[in-house]
């Protein structure tokens, strides 16, 4: 069963310090904010990290900034060209690459600012997960404007992180995610997939396999909200209205179709039987007659993290928008 609770076993701090973290960063014309993010990585209290950067065709000074960073730091830094198919494909190109190996892995956006204890805090939890069990750490974010002013925090979710939640909602942003080698192996086995978001896919994948997911209520990074960020933070009524519009115009339904297709293509051993049943019930809830749709939705047990979110989910089922 998926667990959000801490495991009682204590892991020696020295063994955590010895663990290597591969930071997987994707860039695209990020020169305006990249140096601040790189500095926050360099300032981590956990110093045993290597950086892999996949650049999707930057035309500004992004590559110059990265090369200067590599020249002035001792950690290994590797550059490569991205697939040129958007953010999701770029991140997954790193995550499924078997040549990238470490004890743990962390996604990194190009324009955040990490708290200096971000990696150590994540590893302290992940080190308690058995090596053969997929483990995923994620959490809240501190929201900042373009000029670094803090204006709030992402919502604190309290319901358990499970596959029933992952089917209809992403719990934590990719910029907060740190995961173990067993999770990396899941991503490699899943291979190249057509999915909506790399972080949502990771949550679905780990929870489908009944791995362990921990949602940290303590924000460990500053997330820069851009005016043109379509998804971004769901803080405030304006953001909720954006999501409502996406549901009503069919975007949510299209996303679910894409994710369901990807989950159905997974090797059978990657989805536990109970979760396979949940997936099929949810798929039926998208196309049956009204009363059957609602019954299949009830049987599937899928849920979002908030009351308002669940009301929206129920409304979407009535309107045949899931």
Its pTM stands at: 0.91
Can you give the pLDDT at residue 187?
98
pLDDT at position 235 is: 55
Q: What percent of the chain has pLDDT over 70?
A: 89
Domains of the chain: 13-224 (3.90.550.10), 236-318 (no CATH)
Whether 49 contacts 23, CB under 8 Å? yes
SS3 for 190? helix
**What integer pLDDT is reported at residue 13 of this predicted model?**
65
CA 316, 319, 321, 322 torsion: positive or negative? positive
Q: What is the pLDDT of residue 239?
A: 64
Query: Is 229 exposed, middle or buried (CB count within 10 Å of its CB: 0-12, 13-18, 19+)?
Result: exposed
Edge-to-edge strand list for the sheet holding 21-27: 77-81, 49-55, 21-27, 104-108, 178-180, 135-139, 212-216
Contact 7, 128 (CB under 8 A): yes
d(CA 67, CA 269): 42
How far is residue 77's CA from residue 38's CA, in Å, rounded to a whole number?
A: 11
Mean pLDDT score across all residues of the chain: 91
Name the CA dihedral angle for 311, 314, 315, 319, rounded to a multiple of 10 degrees.
Answer: 170
Report whether pLDDT(321) > 90: yes
Q: Which helix (H) or strand (E) holds 66?
A: helix 62-71
Q: What tens digit of pLDDT does each residue of 13-57 get?
A: 668 999 999 999 999 999 999 999 999 999 999 999 999 999 999
pLDDT tens column, 246-290: 666 788 999 999 999 999 999 999 999 999 999 999 999 999 999
pLDDT at 8: 36
Structure confidence at residue 2 (pLDDT)? 35
The pLDDT of residue 147: 81
Pairing of strands 135-139, 113-114: unpaired
pLDDT band of 319, cuts 50, 70, 90: very high
The first and second tokens of residue 201, run together, are 């896919």
Q: Please give the Cα distance from 19 to 49 (Å, whole number).
A: 8
- pLDDT of residue 236 exceeding 90, the answer is no
Q: Give the count of beta carbons closer than 10 Å to the beta carbon of residue 200.
A: 22
Mean pLDDT of the region 235-242:
62
Report the alpha-carbon angle 251-257-263, nearest 5: 135
């Amino acid at each position: 069963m998926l667990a959000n609770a801490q495991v009682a076993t204590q892991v020696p701090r020295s063994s955590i310090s010895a663990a290597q973290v591969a930071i997987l960063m994707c860039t695209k014309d990020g020169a305006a904010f990249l140096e601040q993010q790189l500095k926050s990585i360099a300032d981590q209290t956990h110093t045993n990290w290597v950086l892999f950067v996949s650049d999707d065709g930057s035309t500004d000074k992004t590559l110059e900034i990265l090369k200067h960073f590599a020249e002035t730091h001792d950690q290994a830094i590797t550059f490569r060209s991205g697939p040129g198919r958007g953010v999701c494909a770029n991140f997954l190109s790193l995550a499924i690459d078997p040549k990238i190996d470490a004890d743990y892995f962390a996604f990194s956006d190009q324009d955040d600012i990490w708290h200096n204890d971000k990696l150590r805090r994540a590893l302290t939890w992940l080190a308690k997960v058995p090596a053969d069990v997929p483990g995923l750490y994620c959490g809240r974010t501190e929201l900042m404007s373009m000029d670094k002013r803090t204006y709030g925090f992402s919502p604190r979710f309290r319901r358990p992180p499970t596959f029933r939640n992952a089917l209809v909602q992403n719990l934590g942003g990719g910029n907060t995610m740190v995961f173990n080698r067993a999770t990396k192996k899941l991503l490699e086995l899943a291979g190249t997939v057509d999915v909506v978001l790399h972080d949502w896919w990771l949550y679905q994948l780990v929870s489908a396999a009944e791995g362990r997911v921990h949602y940290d209520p303590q924000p460990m990074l500053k997330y820069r909200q851009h005016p043109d960020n379509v998804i971004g933070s769901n803080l405030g009524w304006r953001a909720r209205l954006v999501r409502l519009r996406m549901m009503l115009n069919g975007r949510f339904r299209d996303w679910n179709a894409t994710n369901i297709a990807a989950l159905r293509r997974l090797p059978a051993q990657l989805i536990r039987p109970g979760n396979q049943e949940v997936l099929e019930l949810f798929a039926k809830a998208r196309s049956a007659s009204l009363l059957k749709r609602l019954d299949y939705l009830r049987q599937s047990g899928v849920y979002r993290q908030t009351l308002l979110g669940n009301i929206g989910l129920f409304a979407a089922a009535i309107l045949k928008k899931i």
